[in-house]
Amino acid sequence: MIMLISIIGLIACIAILFPQVRQMIIHLAERMIHKKIFLSQIWFETLISYALGGIFIILFFDYCTLTNSGRLLVQKVKQEFKDCLIEIDFRSLLKPVLFLSAVYLLGLLTIIRANQLYMDDISYAITGHREWYNWSRYLVVFFSYIVQPEIRLTDISPLPQLLATPILALSSVLLVYIVGNKKITIVRLLASIPLGLSPYALESLSYKYVPVYGALAILTTIVPFLFITRKKAFFFCSVISLLIVCMIYQIKVNIYLIIVVILCFQAWNNREKNKKEILFFIGSAAVAFCFALLFFKFFLMIPHIDVYTSTKTLPFSSIIVGLLSNIKHYALVVNHDFGLIWKIGIVLVLLFFIIKSVQQSKQRKIFSLIVSFVVIGLSFILSYGLYSLLATPVYHPRALTGFGVLLSILCIIIVSDYKKIASVVVIALNWCFFIFAFSYGNALADQARYAEFRIEILLHDLSVLYPNQNEEGLTFQLKNTIDFTPSIKNIAKNYPLIERLVPKRLGGEDYWNQQYLRNHFNYDPIRTGYNNSSEDFSSLNMPVVLDSYYHTIQSDGSRVLIILKH
């Protein structure tokens, strides 16, 4: 039976490789839905990749089920998984998970209370479409039908945030378990808070529809290290976990690399493993990582070009220069975003990490000092992950969550059986992050209040000037953007990141600001006649039809320019 299914699957996958077969499938689909289907060249290439990936999976499955060596390999891996799971006392993890769930939920309280559509949420609320497959996030689509088994998405917040909190809590507990040599204490749990409540992590948790999937991706990158004592189990779990992460939220794979570097350093510094064992572990992790990402890239990923980011990597001829430039920009962004208190706390954490590493090292002290600096630098680079290799990387806060995970790991290490002053520094820093989460949630609500006030005034004036919603020929264009509220400006004096986290919601070139105005207030001319072209209405010197404290409206009868005032 397995052989028959495999043969049918192989025939189907091979057939898709022929253009005539692909065209026949498209024509059949068009006849079934009574609609013309237009597929770009990228989609045809993606379909071929799916077929090649299917062939690989079928052949590997046949090897594991139909050959003696394959069956033996499966049995060995299964036994290693069982042995590792038996060694873990899962009951001891329950109370820590409940404790951190309460901490994370409290930290998200003001974000949940703000109850704001955040960026992409605007599109989901309007269309109800699950468009994550366009970004190769197939498992997000799959899990979204489990969380919300409906044809179209609707706003079910705060359920996604509530589901994310125990997943983040479990991720923190497992990170403490792995990095802290299986010893879990309250202080170590509190030290892990940046994993879920670092300033960068807050953006992912601000969304109404997807925070649970981002949390799941973080958990999935940590799980393989539960099997680190069994070589085959660790390798296979790493490959599967990384593939899962790539089909949920690709940037989270950098967490895997950070943990590998830190664990290798600990094993070397404490002489827990010899050089051969460490090199084997690095090689195994590297092969698993490269295999998973290459498989995803060539067989599963839909390439994206000319959007707000791109899957296009740096050209080989300039990869070093481009890589250094991206890393430098990343460092500058982090330096800009973090306030003085945060920077002082982070510097102290790094100092304690270096001092502890040298003091407790079983290697030569000078070597330990040098390697400590190298590990910090390498981990920082890896915290930005594969974005550093892209031709057009992004620096949105949600793309920098690896920095929070790195900080969480370092905090766990320095509070583990070390000086109490280190614990005080870590708790103080994490308390600052915890408090910032409250300020951020309140800032979201305050900016939304102000933006809707400005939108109401604007739409009132437009409805008076142009009362006929069916009037044709009107084209609207916005110039400038509204300012932040005084409370956000006050927060920004200490924490500049707040201005990158809180959307202004009206004006500017931000796509989601435009979507919010055009689609959420049922004013049809704005929705149907919004001009987003390169034509600049401000250069036309049109007559002023209304000038108020908040905006100026110019029009020549067919074109309308709205100039927002701060």
Q: Compute φ and ψ for 477, nearest 5 degrees.
A: -145, 135
Q: What pLDDT does 298 receive?
A: 82
Percent of the chain residues topping a pLDDT of 90: 47
pLDDT at 309: 61
Mean pLDDT of 282-305: 85
Q: Which pLDDT score is estimated for 1?
A: 62
Backbone angles phi, psi at 396, to 5 degrees: -60, 150
Distance CA 347, CA 267 (A): 24
Which range among 37-51, 82-96, 489-503 shows the weakest confidence by mean pLDDT? 37-51
pLDDT confidence bin for 492, thresholds 50/70/90 = very high
Q: 154: closest CA among 193, 131, 125?
A: 125
What is the C-alpha to C-alpha distance for residues 497 and 337, in angstroms, rounded to an integer?
Answer: 4
Confidence of residue 350 (pLDDT cuts 50, 70, 90): very high
pLDDT digits (tens, 9 = 90+) for 151-167: 888 889 899 999 999 99
Strand order in the sheet with 475-479: 475-479, 559-564, 551-555, 544-547
Q: Which two tokens stand for residue 185?
A: 């204490």
Does 2 have pLDDT greater than 80? no
In angstroms, what is the C-alpha Rg of the chain?
27
Q: Among 135-139, 167-171, 195-199, 551-555, name the one with the lowest average pLDDT.
A: 135-139
Please give the distance of CA 82 from its chain centroid, rounded to a whole number: 31
Long-range CB contacts (< 8 A, 24+ apart) of 18-23? 22/47
Cα dist from 306 to 27, 309, 312, whole Å? 29, 7, 9
| Span of 71-75, 211-215, 313-317 with lowest mean pLDDT | 313-317
State the Cα–Cα distance between residues 454 and 5, nearest whole angstrom.
Answer: 62
User: What contacts 558, CB < 8 A, 6 or more positions away?
Assistant: 473, 474, 475
For the chain, the average pLDDT equals 86
Q: Which residues contact 425 (CB under 8 A, 6 or more apart)?
A: 345, 348, 349, 352
What sections of 115-210 are H helices per DSSP?
120-127, 138-147, 159-179, 186-191, 194-197, 201-206
Banded model confidence at residue 312, pLDDT cuts 50, 70, 90 = confident
Tokens standing for 101? 């769930």
Average pLDDT over residues 172-176: 95
Q: Quick one: average pLDDT of 179-193?
A: 92
Q: Which of helix, strand or coil describes residue 559?
A: strand
User: How many residues in the chain?
Assistant: 566
Torsion angle (degrees, nearest 10) of CA 434, 436, 439, 440? -110
Per-residue pLDDT, averaged over 134-158, amounts to: 86
Query: What's the pLDDT score for residue 15?
Result: 64
Between 317 and 357, residue with greater pLDDT: 357
How far apart CA 247 and CA 139 sit, in angstroms, is: 5
> What's the pLDDT score for residue 555?
87
Q: How confident is the model at residue 376 (pLDDT cuts 50, 70, 90)?
A: very high
Q: 36: pLDDT confidence band, cut at 50, 70 and 90? A: low
The full set of domain ranges for the chain reads: 2-66, 93-418, 443-564
User: What SS3 string covers 172-185?
Assistant: HHHHHHHHCCCCCC
Q: Average the pLDDT over each of 52-61, 263-272, 495-504, 555-564 and give the range with the smallest value.
A: 52-61
> Which pLDDT tens digit goes with each residue over 66-103?
788 878 888 888 888 888 888 888 888 999 999 999 99
